[in-house]
């Protein structure tokens, strides 16, 4: 019936309300894209329950108003939110980070069945690192007898060596076996990049279980006309502004950014503006002083996501960088979609899928990862262009983003997959998959 009739599927979508359990270690008021996925599913009339942890990212401290036994049950735009205890991230280093990961797994696995009662049609896991977030969901799947959708944003075990600095073959093999077990227990695996598909297939996963589901920019990301009021509000330095927004971590390769700033030191009106926070912030601060870059490299701190479009409007070019590693070449950094949506030219120092998007969009200039010389040349190239040439890059990027990373189309696709899974019809509707 449903498998053979697109019309029936259309009408079924209009009348079916899914009960969806979402398992994620991170959730509002922490700033992650899972918040927007939840908003989109609520907009489509589904009943959402979220099993998550106590908010403490990125500073590693429990947010004001929360505690081990405080604000553990909340309402988020009509969704039920259940929070379990965990050990905070602290400075996101070593054993403390491991304890943070596994404390969530332990308490979510132990308390989840008691907190999230009743029937669920779907279980959806939002997996940015760590992949261990899957274990509570696997337990809930067994209890609730519901299909498990696993959204892979970080590939493991590759991520732990690339970003975590773990190179022990023994540890990587153990993690690899864990990953195979997790994938085996999932009904469907969603991936943010097509380049993930061969890697996941290497884990003995059938291609039919893997669905391409790229990230998108939240609706708040859009072109904003810069104004004098915004200039005064943020007190940004005058000149040509190269703006980076996001995590200040190992993967983001700040060595290359700072080296490019050194190369361009004599161009005193070129300013590097860094928005965000992360485990390498202190190191970056020290490097700025040691390299005598205080006049051209500015750490602005972390601001609410709602203010990012205003900041971007005051930038001349937006910057994305990743260190050189195979795993990062397979990834499309989420900031790329946000940059495209705001209609600003983009400078990239990265390889693979992320670079390909910027190049296909003709949204800016891209050089190889960890190539400070090319990054500096590309910044200088855009610096020397006139305003209309830079604006044209931004317009092309916006058009490309609207076409390939459309929020409504992607959320409709997710909804369709979930409805289809109730009648095991995903394989019969693969032609409708976004981008295929």
Average pLDDT of the residues in 66-73: 90
Contact 421, 199 (CB under 8 A): no
Summarised one tens digit per residue, pLDDT across range 332-372 is 998 999 999 999 999 999 999 999 999 999 999 999 999 99
Average pLDDT of the residues in 186-190: 96
CA distance 201 to 209: 10
Helices (H) and strands (E) in the chain, counts: 17, 14
Summarised one tens digit per residue, pLDDT across range 285-324 is 999 999 999 999 999 999 988 999 999 999 999 999 999 9
Domains belonging to the chain, first-starting first, are 2-216+406-432 (3.40.50.2000), 228-404 (3.40.50.2000)
- Kindly indicate the confidence band of residue 431, based on its pLDDT and cuts at 50, 70 and 90: very low
Average pLDDT of the residues in 251-256: 94
Q: Which two tokens stand for residue 53?
A: 């942890």
- Kindly indicate the confidence band of residue 244, based on its pLDDT and cuts at 50, 70 and 90: very high
Q: What is the pLDDT of residue 435?
A: 41
The number of C-alpha atoms within 13 Å of 55 and in the hemisphere containing its C-beta is 17
Nearest CA-CA partner of 108 in 19, 27, 17: 27
CA distance 45 to 154: 29
Give CA torsion, residues 132, 166, 33, 418, to 10 deg: -40
pLDDT at 48 over 60: yes
Q: What is the pLDDT of residue 430?
A: 47
Q: What is the pLDDT of residue 429?
A: 46
Average pLDDT of the residues in 1-27: 68
Q: Name the average pLDDT for the chain.
A: 90
- Kindly indicate the confidence band of residue 14, based on its pLDDT and cuts at 50, 70 and 90: low
Contact 33, 41 (CB under 8 A): no
Nearest CA-CA partner of 81 in 122, 51, 41: 51
Bond preceding residue 157 cis, omega within 30 of 0: yes
Q: What is the pLDDT of residue 161?
A: 63
Summarised one tens digit per residue, pLDDT across range 74-89 is 999 999 999 999 999 9
Summarised one tens digit per residue, pLDDT across range 104-137 is 999 999 999 999 999 999 999 999 888 999 999 9
Enumerate residues 6+ apart whose C-beta is below 8 A from 29.
55, 63
% of the chain exceeding 70 in pLDDT: 92
**Is the full-model pTM beyond 0.85?**
no
pLDDT at 97 over 90: no
pLDDT at 7 over 50: no
Average pLDDT of the residues in 14-41: 92
Read off φ and ψ for residue 351, nearest 5 degrees: -110, 170
């Amino acid at each position: 019936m449903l498998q053979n009739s697109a019309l029936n599927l259309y009408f079924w979508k209009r009348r079916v309300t899914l009960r969806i359990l979402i398992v994620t270690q991170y959730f509002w008021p922490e700033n992650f894209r899972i918040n927007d996925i939840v908003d989109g599913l609520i907009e489509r009339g589904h009943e959402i329950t979220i099993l998550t942890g106590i908010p403490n990212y990125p500073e590693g401290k429990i947010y004001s108003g929360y505690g081990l036994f405080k604000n553990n049950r909340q309402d988020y735009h009509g969704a039920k939110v259940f929070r379990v205890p965990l050990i905070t991230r602290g400075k996101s280093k070593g054993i403390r980070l491991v304890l943070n990961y596994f404390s969530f797994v332990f308490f979510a696995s132990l308390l989840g069945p008691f907190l999230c009662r009743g029937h669920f049609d779907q279980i959806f896991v939002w997996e940015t690192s760590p992949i261990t977030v899957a274990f509570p969901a696997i337990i809930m799947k067994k209890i609730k007898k519901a299909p498990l959708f696993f959204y892979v944003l970080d590939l493991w075990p590759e991520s732990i060596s690339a970003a975590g600095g773990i190179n022990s073959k023994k540890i990587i093999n153990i993690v690899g076996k864990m990953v195979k077990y997790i994938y085996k227990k999932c009904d469907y695996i969603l991936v943010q990049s097509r380049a993930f598909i061969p890697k996941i297939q290497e884990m003995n996963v059938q291609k039919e279980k893997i669905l391409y589901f790229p990230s998108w920019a939240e609706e708040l990301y859009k072109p904003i006309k810069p104004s004098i009021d915004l200039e005064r509000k943020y007190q940004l330095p005058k000149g040509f502004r190269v703006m980076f927004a996001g995590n200040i971590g190992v993967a983001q390769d700040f060595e290359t950014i700072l080296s490019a700033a050194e190369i361009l030191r004599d161009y005193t009106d070129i300013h590097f503006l860094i928005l965000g926070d992360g485990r390498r912030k202190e190191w970056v601060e020290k490097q700025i002083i040691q390299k005598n870059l205080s006049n051209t490299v500015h750490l602005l701190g972390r601001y609410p996501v709602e203010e990012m479009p205003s900041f971007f409007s005051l930038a001349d070019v937006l910057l994305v960088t990743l260190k050189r590693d195979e795993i990062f070449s397979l990834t499309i950094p989420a900031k790329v979609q946000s940059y495209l949506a705001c209609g600003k030219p983009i400078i990239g120092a990265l390889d693979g899928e992320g670079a390909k998007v910027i190049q296909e969009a003709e949204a800016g200039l891209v050089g190889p990862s960890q190539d400070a010389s090319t990054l500096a040349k590309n910044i200088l190239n855009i610096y020397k262009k006139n305003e209309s040439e830079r604006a044209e890059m931004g317009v092309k990027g916006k058009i490309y983003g609207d076409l390939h990373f459309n929020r409504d189309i992607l959320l409709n696709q997710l909804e369709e997959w979930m409805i289809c899974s109730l009648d095991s019809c995903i394989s019969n509707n693969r032609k409708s998959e976004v981008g295929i």
